[in-house]
A = this chain, B = another copy of it.
Amino acid sequence: MSPHSIAQPALYLEVAERLRQRIFSHELQPGAWVDEQSLAEQYGISRTPLREALKVLASEGLVTLKPRRGCYVTELAERDLDDIFPLMALLEGRCAFEATQKATPADLKRLEALHEKLERHAAKGDANGFFEVNQAFHEALQELSGNRWLKQMIDDLRKVLKLTRRDSLRLEGRLKQSLEEHRHILAAIRERDAASAEALMHAHLFSGRAALAKMHAAKQG
């Protein structure tokens, strides 16, 4: 086994990941122009790997490549959210169903541990911490579902959703409500009630959509 066996990821993948982070953090805002030259200089690389990274992000839907006009961070319309959330509900619901059936006692323990963290973050009112652990919990379920393509689909959609601001959790009462929903989902999994887990997860996603809509409405008014 050669010491090089851990092949370092290609540069364009590195760049893609960095750009993703900048998009998710809204340092690069939806609609913003992505300046190839400037970014290449910032990263101290040539335009070639940068452009390859942009192609990847484009097929993920995070940026939009307009021929001869450059690259722009994708802007999601309300319509897109109305399309994506039901889809996520469907997929994550299925995940919850499968995970419930396949979880070993050890898996369940891990889920309980994650949920405990969630409880603590909620108690402190730490929305950022809650957001992170919440994502970890959902990803754990995806792992348990054992369907890598399902997981991939959900991951892709989640990336797109991260284009929107994520502070709907800071809405009055939303954090508590989300926590409550998680409690019920976990309970259903614990009791091996796959159908309920699916339905609850489904509702959880729609609840998330509603919170986002509410926040959006508030910002408009």
Contacts and interface: CB of A to CB of B under 8 A. Distances in A.
Interface of A: 7-10, 12, 48, 51-52, 55-56, 58-60, 65-69, 80, 83-84, 86-87, 90-91, 94, 147-150, 153, 157
A10 B71 CA distance: 13
Contacts of A66: 7
B90 A90 contact: yes
A8 B66 CA distance: 11
Contacts of A90: 90-91, 94
Contact of A149 (B8, B55, B56, B83): B83
A94 B91 CA distance: 11
Contacts of A69: 7
A150 B148 CA distance: 18
Nearest to A160: B149
Contacts of A9: 67
A9 B58 CA distance: 14
Contact of A60 (B59, B67, B147): B59
Contacts of A150: 83, 87
Given A7-B69, A51-B52, A59-B60, 13 more contacts: A8-B67, A48-B48, A52-B55, A55-B56, A55-B59, A56-B56, A56-B59, A80-B148, A86-B147, A87-B147, A87-B149, A87-B150, A87-B153
A67 B149 contact: no
Nearest to A11: B67
A84 B80 CA distance: 24
B55 A12 contact: yes
Contacts of A58: 56
A113 to B, nearest CB: 27
A10 B69 CA distance: 11
Nearest to A151: B83
Contacts of A60: 59
A86 to B, nearest CB: 7
